Structures are given as C-alpha cells and as structure tokens.
C-alpha cells in the first residue's frame, strides 16, 4: 500500500510532459521564488516590483539550441533592462546541477539572475517544454507573450526577431502582433516519474 501511495504522490507532484498544459497569452501565471545560482532569493514578484514587465526564459547549460542563444539573451537583457523590463532565467533541467548553472552563467556574462528549479516544479506549473522558451508577463502576472526568441537557431539566418518585436510593441503601448509562437529547442530534462 505504501508503494502505491508513493507512486500516486509522484504522479501528482511531477506530471508527465505529455500531460502538461502550457500557459496561453492572457492567462495569469503562477508566482515563484527560487534561489539564484549564488544562493540569493529571486522572485518573479520582486522583479516585477521594479519593472513594468518581466521576461522569464527557460534555459539550459548543455542544450546546443539554448547555448546558441546565450549571446542573444544577454543582448536582449542589455537592450531592454534599462527600459523597465526585468529578466529571469530558469534552469529546470534535473541533469544540470546548480554549480554547472553558476559556471555557465558566469562564462556567458549573464547580467540577469539564473535560478535553479529543483524537480522542475516551475517548468511544470508554467508548462514549459523546451530550452529556450520565453514567457513575458506584466505587473498583474498576466501572460502577454509565449514562445521563441526569434525564428532561427543560427543568428545570421534570423529573419524575425519575435521577442524583441514584442517588447518594443509593449513599450510603445501597442498590441503584440503574435502573442503565441511555438518555441523550439531541447526538451527540459524532468525528474523521472518512476524514481523510487
């Protein structure tokens, strides 16, 4: 009986990726507070306190697609952080320890916090599936944009800068042309449902 209860608790706590429902533009996102790679507390509400919008980026240290965007993510932060847009990166990969996240963040000179999401709880709550995957929210925790950074892993082949365009539209008080675009990248490495 104890084994059955443990299995049921695991199923409730850590749903299968196929069962996750991704948030859509207009939804209210769940709040979160996690540890930055240096041990400091970082919360979505804290970032929004000092900014009009927050960009939440699900990232990885080992995913070649996410890594192809490291410079672009740093560049977007540099361009928009002075315009009351805050940035938080979330590492939900069970296979990437916090020490690796710390070293990766320092090597790439990320100016934004990179929090560790133990047991992929936040990725599950937000329905994040890949790295990189982007969510933009306002002060009321309403999701305004969900999807990709741009349309090509190879920076030289980019034709649509979707995230930059969305942020520029928000700052100008305009509607975002496309609020929902399919993100592409490596799947988030979640905790094993069958773990004892």
Which CATH number fits the domain that encloses residue 167?
3.40.30.10
Distance CA(68)–CA(72), nearest Å, equals 8
How many distinct structural domains can be found in the chain?
1
* pLDDT tens-digit readout, 82-99: 999 999 999 999 999 999
Least confident residue range of 8-12, 94-98, 177-181: 8-12
Sheet holding 33-36, edge to edge: 41-43, 33-36, 114-116, 85-91, 53-59, 133-138, 143-147
Segments in 40-145 forming alpha helices (H): 44-49, 64-68, 70-80, 98-107, 121-126
Task: Using the CB atoms, write b or e for 87-96: b if 16+ within 10 Å.
Answer: bbbbbbbbeb
Is residue 185's pLDDT more than 60? Answer: yes
Which domain, by its residues, includes 108?
A: 27-187
Is the link from the previous residue into 33 a cis peptide, with omega within 30 of 0? no
Closest among 182, 139, 134, 143 to 27, alpha carbons compared? 143
Residue 44 domain-assigned? yes
Element holding 36 (H helix, E strand)? strand 33-36
Gyration radius (Cα) of the chain, Å: 17
φ and ψ of 102, to 5 deg: -60, -50
Looking at residue 99, its pLDDT comes to 96
Is residue 72's pLDDT more than 60? Answer: yes
Query: With bands split at pLDDT 50, 70 and 90, how would you rate the model's confidence at 109?
Result: very high
Residue 42 domain-assigned? yes
Percentage of the chain exceeding pLDDT 90: 82
CA distances from 146 to 12, 33, 96 (A): 25, 20, 24
Looking at residue 20, its pLDDT comes to 55
Residue 15 domain-assigned? no
* pLDDT tens-digit readout, 113-142: 999 999 999 999 999 999 999 999 999 999
Q: Are 66 and 60 in contact (CB under 8 A)?
A: yes
Looking at residue 24, its pLDDT comes to 87
Residue 194 domain-assigned? no
Distance CA(136)–CA(144), nearest Å, equals 6
Q: Are 63 and 186 in contact (CB under 8 A)?
A: yes
Residue 141 domain-assigned? yes
Looking at residue 23, its pLDDT comes to 84
Residue 104 domain-assigned? yes
- pLDDT higher at 18 or 72: 72
* pLDDT tens-digit readout, 12-40: 333 444 445 678 889 999 999 999 988 89
Q: Cβ contacts of residue 170 below 8 Å, gap of 6+?
A: 52, 53, 85, 136, 144, 176
Residue 53 domain-assigned? yes
Pairing of strands 130-131, 133-138: unpaired
Residue 22 domain-assigned? no
Is residue 175's pLDDT more than 70? Answer: yes
């Amino acid at each position: 009986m104890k084994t059955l209860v443990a299995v049921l608790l695991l199923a409730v706590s850590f749903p299968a990726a196929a069962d996750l429902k991704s948030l859509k533009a207009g939804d209210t996102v769940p709040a979160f507070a996690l540890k930055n790679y240096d041990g400091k507390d970082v919360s979505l509400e804290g970032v929004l306190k000092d900014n009009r919008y927050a960009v939440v980026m699900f990232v990885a240290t080992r995913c070649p697609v996410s890594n192809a965007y490291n410079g672009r993510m740093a560049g977007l932060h540099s361009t928009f952080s002075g315009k009351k847009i805050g940035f938080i990166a979330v590492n939900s990969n069970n296979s990437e320890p916090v020490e690796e996240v710390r070293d990766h963040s320092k090597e790439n000179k990320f100016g934004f916090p990179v929090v560790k999401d133990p047991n992929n709880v936040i990725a599950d709550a937000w329905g994040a599936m890949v790295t990189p995957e982007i969510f933009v929210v306002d002060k009321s925790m309403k999701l305004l944009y969900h999807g990709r950074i741009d349309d090509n892993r190879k920076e030289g082949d980019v034709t649509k800068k979707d995230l930059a365009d969305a942020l520029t539209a928000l700052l100008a008080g305009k509607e975002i042309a496309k609020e929902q675009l399919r993100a592409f990248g490596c799947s988030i490495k979640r905790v094993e449902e069958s773990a004892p």
